[in-house]
Amino acid sequence: MLSIKKSSERLNLILMENSMTPTEFAHTYDISKSALSNYLNGKSLIRRDKAESLGERLNIDPEWLMGGDVSRMPLLHDAADSGNASSDNSEAFGENLISEGSREHTEGDPLSAGAFLSPGFTVVHPVPYAQFSSTSGTGRSRRESNIPYRRT
């Protein structure tokens, strides 16, 4: 079930994660300022076409953006299908992930299963997830350090 309140909270979260003002966000993603204001303040639900456009550009599930009870990240087979890959290829891709996931962690190999299956971390996307400027004691922001994981 779609929820205006959840949609509003999630849009506000996206703005905060990307360190953008509503005006910057509206300009960047081609949404009118008044429509974005209504979405952010919970006055109206984001239109499906806008949610799909944002979902594609931000790599998030449009249904999640509209307040649905689904995962934030789109499923792998959805991403493969949108790239004109056949479903056979996406199934093979999933099988490769499963077989890779059962492999023991090799020290120094950041793409091995151990890096992705470490307790407290989830794989979010091969592109860095951290879009905010908090530091982790290194003096560099998480964005600058290109950390592709987030704490769970």
Domain range 4-65, CATH class: mainly alpha
3-state secondary structure of 11: helix
49-74 mean pLDDT: 89
- Who wins on pLDDT, 78 or 75? 75
pLDDT tens across 89-135, in order?
A: 545 444 444 444 444 444 454 544 444 444 554 544 444 444 444 45
pLDDT at 68: 87
pTM for the full predicted model? 0.49
Q: How many angstroms separate the Cα of 143 from the Cα of each of 86, 93, 122?
A: 34, 28, 17
At residue 140 the predicted structure's pLDDT band, cuts being 50, 70 and 90, is: low
Residue ranges per structural domain of the chain: 4-65, 119-152
> Hey, which bits of 65-137 come out as E strands?
121-123
